[in-house]
Amino acid sequence: MPACGRCTKAGQVSDCLYIDETTDSLPDGPTGRGSFEGHISRPIQQTAAPVGDTLSRLEYQDRRIKQLEAALANTGHTQITDAVQRMKVSKLPLTPESGMAATEQTGGTATDRETMLLRGKSFKTQFHGSTHPGSLIAHIPDLNTFTKEAFERFPALARIRHDMRTLEERTEYAGSKSQPITEAALKALLPQKVEADELVHLYLNSYGSIYHVLHLPTFWKQYHNLWPDIASASGHFVATLLLMIASAQCLVSTQPWLYTANSSLPREKAITYIQACDDWLQTQSQKHVTSADFQIRFLLVFARQVSARKVKRTWTEAGTLLRFCMAAGLHRNPDLLRKKTSALDKNLRRRIWAAVVELELQASFDRGMMAAPWPMQADTPPASNIHDEDLDQNTEQVPPPVRGDEFTRSSYLWAASESTMLRHGLNTTLNNIRQTLGFDDVKRFTEEIDAQIQAIPKWTGTGADVDAAFLSLNLRQYVMVLHDRQLRQSETAAERSFSRVMIIDSATRTIDTHRALIEKGSYALELLCQDQLRAALSICHLSATVDIRADSAIGQIIEHHAGRIMDEAVQMLTDKVGRFGREQRQLWIVVAAYGFWKAKNDPSKRAVYMQEAVEKVTRPYYKIMACQDDVPAVMGAPLEKVASRGESSKSAPEPTPPLPLSKAQEMTPFEDLPILDLDEIEAWTLENWNQFNASDLPSFSEPYQMNPT
């Protein structure tokens, strides 16, 4: 190996050595640089350097390598027993799991600021990540104290929960038993044509142009051919029709609402159809699938979501659906198919894939999880903005898309594809416990989201207002999460003011968008979205953390909007509870936040506002228990029983009387009741939701800056 120029000039050619080790892997010396520069011209140790042949030089280098390896083993990372310190030395971002080993060694309790919604014990646990709407609860000071005090002062909350559990135990729910179902039994569940007509149109006008997975000319042809001869109809079409009807059941405006335990009759009908279709689908072969198989699987997940059926499984089921589609190659360009495939089928593949991607991404965001990493494998083009009537099985080429401002049933999927990658990347970043965002990043993302909102076309036509509203809501929810997080890590007053303004604007526009649709008689997004809860908690978090005396201008703006936003959210969630007979926990969180905000502004009336909150959540409970239906919900019940529900009672039954005081005193203490998913005491009093402790930040944030969310 040739000597370097420095050694040659010094006359030390024989002493020139090359060291291949990099400085990053060696301990730093006292000068702040590595112990080796990659090249040295004098021996480091007192061992004599060889001046002879090449073999001697190689032997010397081998000895030096062994010496360096031994020194590194004595002073390197492997000797660091403290888990936190080892992570710091390795310069990897610290995660909540990083401190667990050290915690176990010292017998301490792990402080976990990221997974504040990891609750339960042993394996009976549930996790919700950073973008879950309820994650803000952990950052609203003293909200859990307010809710716990409400339970202690007002035992009605515990009593109605006990009464409802008693009612549930003696009620047989629709879909409570899974059983094989024949095609004939599936067809027997079809409602009368008049009812089916109404519900099909309600579905298409509400959700049909959001997740447009059907080809409407084909659907209407099969629909009109169904009624003269139901026995000869395709089982796949009947399942598709039942799931469309199920998705629209809770959108009806039937009065009065009747209930089976804590489930409304329309919801019970929906669950009956959903369970029947699911059981029937399990018996079908997957060897010869058609577009209907994918449509049914999509509608199963969607119908459960808008019927509040097993909502905690939405994220896992949406992920399974996406993988089912990927296994069939729907994520790849349909033009790559070698066998002849019609233009209609190619277009349906693109539409179904786009709808599944949107459903899975939103489910991931609502759960606080990363979406599936499909972008690295997908190359299918976005759905085309074309009219269904321009396409059929005989069409050889997909027609060119119409203008962006011309509304079609595929307009939502086409427009949503413009921001899919932005939202997918943001969701991944926001739920990544190792990644943080600086103010410049948040500002840039905010500008990109605003540009996407401004680019939403001004459509006109049936369903156009729902599509445009859903596009804007899906984007604004990211703004709220971005700035909720940024607000807690802002370093300057200007940054905090910017985030506060963005939160106020996004929360206000979110509630106003929902209110505009409700005033038009459309409840589709009220049932589908969770952003009413997010908007209410964001504004409550904002008002609870701002110092009105120090920031009088922004404080006045917050006070002006906060009351209306939370009151509107309470009204919407109350209506949601009435339609489902469920979701009371979401309602309780918002009414508690609303009462907490009012009590913060006027502490002298804390007990009054606490009682108002309790009454707002107990009133729907009493209504549900008073309006019980006497027709049992049995899976596979005769069609006339299912169809006649809601018509058999002309007036509401007598209210169920409250438990006598002596009986109430004999009840099992509320804290000792068994866990019922997220309805246990911790969920209602919001205990253990705020495991984040600001005093722990210094020890966790060196040598890098952590995001406290």
Checking if the pLDDT of 232 tops 60, the result is yes
Q: Which of 45-49, 135-139, 682-686 has the lowest mean pLDDT?
A: 45-49
Q: Which of 98-112, 134-148, 213-227, 476-490 has the lowest mean pLDDT?
A: 98-112
pLDDT at 176: 61
Checking if the pLDDT of 112 tops 90, the result is no
Closest CA to 230 of 269, 191, 173: 191
Mean pLDDT of 416-433: 93
What are residue 119's DSSP bridge partners?
Answer: 126
Joined together, the tokens standing for residue 474 give 């899906």
DSSP assigned state of 440? H
What are residue 263's DSSP bridge partners?
Answer: 260
Rounded Cα distance, 591 and 34, in Å: 60
Rounded Cα distance, 191 and 640, in Å: 9
Checking if the pLDDT of 452 tops 50, the result is yes
Confidence tier at 13 by pLDDT (50, 70, 90) = low
Rounded Cα distance, 127 and 118, in Å: 4
Rounded Cα distance, 171 and 169, in Å: 6
Rounded Cα distance, 647 and 660, in Å: 33
Own/partner pairs for 492-496, CB < 8 Å, 24+ apart? 495/439
Alpha-carbon separation of residue 475 from 285, 411, 478, 504, 584 (angstroms): 39, 16, 6, 15, 26
Confidence tier at 462 by pLDDT (50, 70, 90) = confident
Local structure of 40: helix, strand or coil: strand
Bridge pairing between strands 124-126 and 39-40: unpaired
pLDDT at 686: 58
Q: Are 343 and 396 in contact (CB under 8 A)?
A: yes
Q: Which of 80-89, 139-148, 241-250 has the lowest mean pLDDT?
A: 80-89
User: How does DSSP assign 592-612, residue by residue?
Assistant: HHHHHHHHHH-GGGHHHHHHH
* Between 656 and 300, residue with greater pLDDT: 300
Averaging pLDDT over each range in 70-79, 83-92, 194-203, which range is the top one?
194-203
Rounded Cα distance, 384 and 212, in Å: 11
The per-residue pLDDT for range 479-501, each reduced to its tens digit, is 999 999 898 888 888 898 899 99
pLDDT at 130: 87
Q: Give the H or E element holding residue 39.
A: strand 39-40
pLDDT at 9: 64
CA atoms within 13 A on the CB side of 459: 27
Mean pLDDT of 203-229: 94
Mean pLDDT of 164-172: 69
Q: Give the H or E element holding residue 263.
A: strand 263-264
Before 674, cis peptide (omega within 30)?
A: no
Q: Maximum CA pair distance of the chain?
A: 111
Confidence tier at 186 by pLDDT (50, 70, 90) = very high
Bridge pairing between strands 39-40 and 17-18: antiparallel
Rounded Cα distance, 248 and 225, in Å: 22
Bridge pairing between strands 119-121 and 39-40: unpaired
Closest CA to 330 of 394, 401, 381, 391: 381
* Between 492 and 72, residue with greater pLDDT: 492
User: How does DSSP assign 128-159, residue by residue?
Assistant: --TTSGGGGGGGSTTHHHHHHHHHHH-THHHH
Checking if the pLDDT of 5 tops 70, the result is no
Tell me the pLDDT of the chain averaged across its residues.
78
Confidence tier at 637 by pLDDT (50, 70, 90) = very low
The per-residue pLDDT for range 571-609, each reduced to its tens digit, is 999 999 999 988 888 898 999 999 999 988 888 999 999
Rounded Cα distance, 14 and 18, in Å: 12
Checking if the pLDDT of 317 tops 90, the result is yes
pLDDT at 67: 77
Checking if the pLDDT of 430 tops 80, the result is yes
pLDDT at 509: 96
Rounded Cα distance, 89 and 705, in Å: 15
What amino acid is encoded at 649 in this protein? S
Q: Are 336 and 380 in contact (CB under 8 A)?
A: no
